[in-house]
Copies of this chain bind each other. A is one copy, B any other.
């Protein structure tokens, strides 16, 4: 069990990781090795103090060289859930599970609004993780929603299990054909069922499916962490980043507006200090 797990590799996660390192706290950092898409895709940033007029790519390079310089590793794994466990939290990833005394959520703001029925059928036919749940749909018919090209490797994996995949892409993507993957036009509007998922609705059509994989960059924080208090989709935090769950802190866009690099970096920094104080309080309590 490590002291802390940082989830997310945007500006908040980067800042939290750098300061945890400076505070000599041992941690696992889960995210994209190439950092958050949101960092990379910014065109020109003028108000991040100290880096003037840089592109998202420049900022990403600056962050990565700093992370490498400090010998910090990013573990590339998608997080599907955070659950309380003995003395801390278990983070269920697609490849492995991880245990820590504290968690810093820096998962960003959800670009995609949840589809109607998504939260309701989560765990009952709706999954966020192809690696974890793909095998359950061997020979079955499923719908898959992807946000960008990043998720296509998961579609390829699912195609090895499922009989047919109805694929919904949020953005226009230029993807290679796969025999049993049908590229659907329009948006997936609703997930329907009773005890389990039975169908999806798209452009007035209803398609019978056994499961739905929603493969997004970010999952709504309260779907990710059971019992986490959110208000209007934002994690409610104190000034020190503490959430309603002891040992769970949150930083960056996930805590609300303004959606700004400087704000996110500041909150990541503060959370690292708060984790330090919390770990010290655990020692004293013993």
Q: How far is it, in angstroms, between the C-alpha of A267 and the C-alpha of B47 when the chains are bound?
A: 13
Cα A48 to Cα B53 with chains together (Å): 17
| Segment 75-134 of A: residues with Cβ below 8 Å from B | none
Asked whether A265 is an interface residue with its Cβ less than 8 Å from the other chain, the reply is yes
Q: How many residues of A contact B (CB 8 A)?
A: 37
From B239, B266, B273, contact of A237 by CB (8 A): B239
What residues of chain B lie closer than 8 Å to A65, measured between beta carbons?
52
Q: Which chain A residues (245-286) contact chain B, with CB distance < 8 Å?
A: 257-258, 260, 262-270, 273
Candidates B21, B48, B267; contact of A50 at CB < 8 Å? B48
Contact (Cβ within 8 A) A258 B269: yes
Tell me which residues across on chain B come within 8 A of A21, comparing CB atoms.
Answer: 47
- Residue-wise interface mask of A (1-32) relative to B, using a CB-CB cutoff of 8 A (1 in contact, 0 not): 00000000001001100110110000000000
Residue pair A49, B265 in contact (C-beta under 8 Å): yes
Chain multiplicity (copies): 2
Query: Which residues of the partner chain B approach A59 to less than 8 Å between Cβ atoms?
Result: 50
* Chain B residue with the shortest CB-CB distance to A256: B239
User: Is residue A51 within 8 Å, beta carbon to beta carbon, of the partner chain?
Assistant: yes
Contact A62 B70 (CB under 8 A): no
Q: Is the CB of B47 within 8 A of A269?
A: yes
Contacts A50-B63, A53-B69, A62-B51 given; indicate if A267 touches B269 (C-beta within 8 A): no
Given contacts A11-B49, A47-B19, A49-B14, whether A262 and B268 have CB atoms under 8 Å apart is yes
Q: Which residue of the partner chain, among B19, B50, B257, B258, contacts A260 with CB atoms under 8 Å?
A: B19
A244 contacts B by Cβ under 8 Å:
no
CB of A280 to closest CB in B, whole Å: 14
- Are B52 and A15 in contact, with the CB atoms below 8 A? no
**Residue A46 CB within 8 A of the other chain:** yes
In the A-B complex, list the 7 residue pairs whose CB atoms are closest, starting with the nearest: A266-B266, A52-B66, A262-B269, A18-B47, A258-B273, A50-B62, A22-B47
